[in-house]
Each structure stands twice: as structure tokens, then as C-alpha cells.
A and B are shown apart, each in its own frame.
Chain A
Amino acid sequence: MASSEVPQPPMGMLAELTHRCPLQCPYCSNPVALERRRQELDTATWQRVFAEASEMGVLQVHLSGGEPALRPDLPELVQACADAGLYSNLITAGVNIDRARLETLADAGLDHVQLSVQGATPEVTDHIANMAGAHARKRAFAAEVTALGLPLTLNAVIHRANLHQIDDFVELAIELGARRLEIAHAQYYGWALVNRAALMPSREQVMSALERVEAARERLQGRLVIDAVVPDYHARLPKPCMNGWGRQSLNVTPSGKVLPCHAAETIPHLEFWNVADHGLQEIWYDSPAFNAYRGTDWMPETCQSCERKEIDWGGCRCQALMLTGDAAQMDPVCEKSPYHDEVQTLAVLDAAGDADFTYRRFARMPEGA
């Protein structure tokens, strides 16, 4: 970063409580090497992390996974957020929380529920999540959420196999009483990268999806907030990934590693610190991984001289590494990148492909592990 600037404290924290999940979505943002149950932080450590987060300026905590409800101590963790004054957001698949448990979470101070929907119909959801009956369970869960008066967001990750359902997702959100809908085009990291050839939509499909979202947003203003995460391979300009590296948010993995984003571990030379060894504040300000691409000093000349450098913050470091071999390159999605045409070609080729899903699963344990 510009050396005179002191980084601001983070506003949001993604707490990946576990990587275990009953669903097997092929676009999961978790790393392909999932962390296992025996590596997970215990209740007391998470409670300390939430207290430290609040102390340093975090305002919102996203309790995520995997499926966070697989942690038996979830109510205690929600309570710890509430005690620390943190706004708690439960990001769930909604297939394993019954009415009684949801009431416990609400009583513990849960502020908001974000429910994932893989499709707008049972056939599509159950196929993408690779779980029979998932859609019906999600609908029942959504009804319990709104019956308790908790605010509900539906999150739909969009890709080639469900892009035709945009209007249906909007209708589903209204029907289930959601206040907010996220139409998030798949971002190609982790499992989504493995499945890119099965997920990538064509440019025409992307454009039509964007138009339908825009029309729904206008039609439903004041009734349903629709936030869109746009697909970037077909784009001209990079996304402001994380709104800048180490600028607004951090991610804690099930085993306590603290990352600038959930894909950051794909950059092999970075050194990540763990909450078991360091305080959260120390990690945010002093750890090598957070300082590696913070601010603008690390940027190549094309970014340095670009008027958008503090708008998109150079785009995504993980994508730069993945597609150019160098994490300090400008995001290759940018039209000023020498790799831009290559990325667009890649997207066209993947969109024309006919690949099957590789479902998200734990790898078989090697002998003796």
C-alpha cells in the first residue's frame, strides 16, 4: 500500500465454521482440499475470535461453511456474536435445521438468514446439490424462518445449468417471503474452477440473465432487494475483488487460518497465520499474507497509471495467478491485460463444452492418514 497509509480495520468477517456439508454443489467456493472435522476450532476459540473481531472493528459476521449448522455449538457461537455486538448472518443450505433449533438460534440473537437455493425447482436443486429432497427441505426451512420473523435472503449461484431459471428464482424469493435475493454468477475458484467447463455460460446467456435481473429489480423496487454478482470472464473490466485485498474483510477457515479471501490459499508463496498462534488484530495488520497485496504499491505499471486503481483494486489476485501464473499481474479479465483475449477465448470454449459435474466431496483418506 502507499506507505503513509495505515490500513482501516475490517468491517466483515467470514467464519467458515466447518467444511462438512450435506450438499455437494459443484461450484462450492471452499478449497478442493477440504479441512476435516478433527482440525476444526473448538467453541472457546471461536468465542475468543468473535470478541477480538468486534474489538478491532468488525461489524458483521457471516457464519458459513460448509454447512455451519453441522456444528452442535452453533447457538453458542451465535450468542458469542450477539454478546460482542456483532451482526450475525447465518449462511446455510437449510436442509438440517428444524423449527426448534431455529428458535434456539433466533433466541441466541441471530440477525439474518441467508439460504442457498441451487435451483428454482426440485429437479434442478436436487440435481445440482446432488441431494434428493433438498429443495423441499429448503422451502420448509424458509417458511420457518419467515414465520419466526427473521429476515431472509435467498442466494442463487448462477451458471449454465440454472441460468434459464432467473425469473423463477425471483418468483421463489417473493413466494417464500425473502426480503433480499442474491443472483450470484459462479466465480471460478475452488470447486467451480474444477467444474468450469460444466458451468460456464455463453456471453449471450450472460447478457440475457443480466437483463432479466435488471427488469426484475425495477419491477420489484421496495419489495425485494436484488443484488447481483456479475460473471467476469466475459467482462471488459475486472471486479473489485473483496473491495481490495486486506481492505474490508477477512476469512477464518475451520482450522483457524486467517485469509484475505476464501481462495487466497491457492497462492502458494503466501504465509497465513492462525488464530491459535496470533491475535486477530495482529494478523490483520502484520501478517505477511494480508500485507502482500494491500493498497496499490504492489501493482504493475498499467494498474498504477489507471484511473480505476482505487475502484477495482487491480481485480483478483487468485485469478491473476490462475490464468497468468503470476499473482501480482493485473487481473487478466481487464481489457488492458495482455491475457484478456485468452480469457475470453477460454470462456467461449468452456461455454461450448459438454462436461459433467465433479461433485464436491472429501477426498478419500490416504493410507495411514
Chain B
Amino acid sequence: MTAIQESDIVRLPRGVRLREDKQRGGWVLLAPERVFQLDDIAQTVVSEVDGERSVGTIIDRLCDTYQAPRERIAEDVTAMFAGLIEKRVLEIA
């Protein structure tokens, strides 16, 4: 697993795009020869990635949105980001 620090800034690499999938509903991450269909939570988290916010900032913002314990959100977000980094659809800036 890739170790992620809260100070890391994450971004979508070139060739990876987040867009709405109007025909099927929901949002998708389009990547080289792959399509990742995102559930509502994944979409909310990935939408926070703007290439400027740090992982810690993203976690803080999601805490406000979900009104959930920070520890829990931090765990989920870093696990999701680590998975996306392994698939090379997210990178540390």
C-alpha cells in the first residue's frame, strides 16, 4: 500500500477525467482504457481533488459535509486514495 501523508497534495494525472455519465446516471472516472464507475461517496471524495488541496484539507471538508468523526473519515479517504494511486488514476503532486 502507498503511504499517504495528510500534507500530500493529490491530483488526477493527465489522461484521467471525472465526468458525469448522464445516460447511466452517476459519475465516472475515465482513465486509459478503463472506466471506473463511482458511487456517491467516491464521487464526493474524488470531486474534492483539485490539485491544490492537501489530503488533510480534503478530510476536514468532508468532516463538515458528513458530520462524522474525523478519524473515521481520514481512514476511509486515505484508503480510497491509496487504492486509486495503485491503479495510477490519482497521483501525489
Contact = CB atoms under 8 A, between A and B. Distances in A.
B19 to A, nearest CB: 7
A89 B33 contact: yes
Given A87-B30, A111-B30, A11 B13 contact: no
A8 interface: yes
A111 B28 CA distance: 15
Interface stretch (A55-63, A127-135, A208-216): A55-63
Interface of B: 2, 13-17, 19, 21, 23-24, 28, 30, 32-33, 35, 85-88
Interface stretch (A146-154, A163-171, A194-202, A305-313): A146-154
Contacts of B87: 225
Interface residues of A, number: 25
Contacts of A56: 23
B17 A111 contact: yes
Interface of A: 8-9, 11-12, 56-57, 59-60, 62, 85, 87, 89, 111-112, 114, 149-151, 153, 179-180, 221-222, 225, 227
Instruction: Pick the most buried of B19, B30, B87: most chain A CB atoms within 10 A of its CB.
Output: B30
A3 B13 CA distance: 42
24 contacts: A8-B24, A11-B35, A56-B23, A59-B19, A59-B30, A59-B35, A60-B33, A62-B33, A85-B19, A87-B30, A89-B32, A89-B33, A111-B17, A111-B32, A112-B15, A112-B32, A150-B15, A151-B16, A179-B13, A179-B32, A180-B33, A222-B2, A222-B85, A222-B88
B30 A9 contact: no
Nearest to A227: B33
Closest 7 CB pairs of A and B: A151-B15, A57-B23, A87-B30, A112-B32, A112-B15, A222-B86, A9-B23
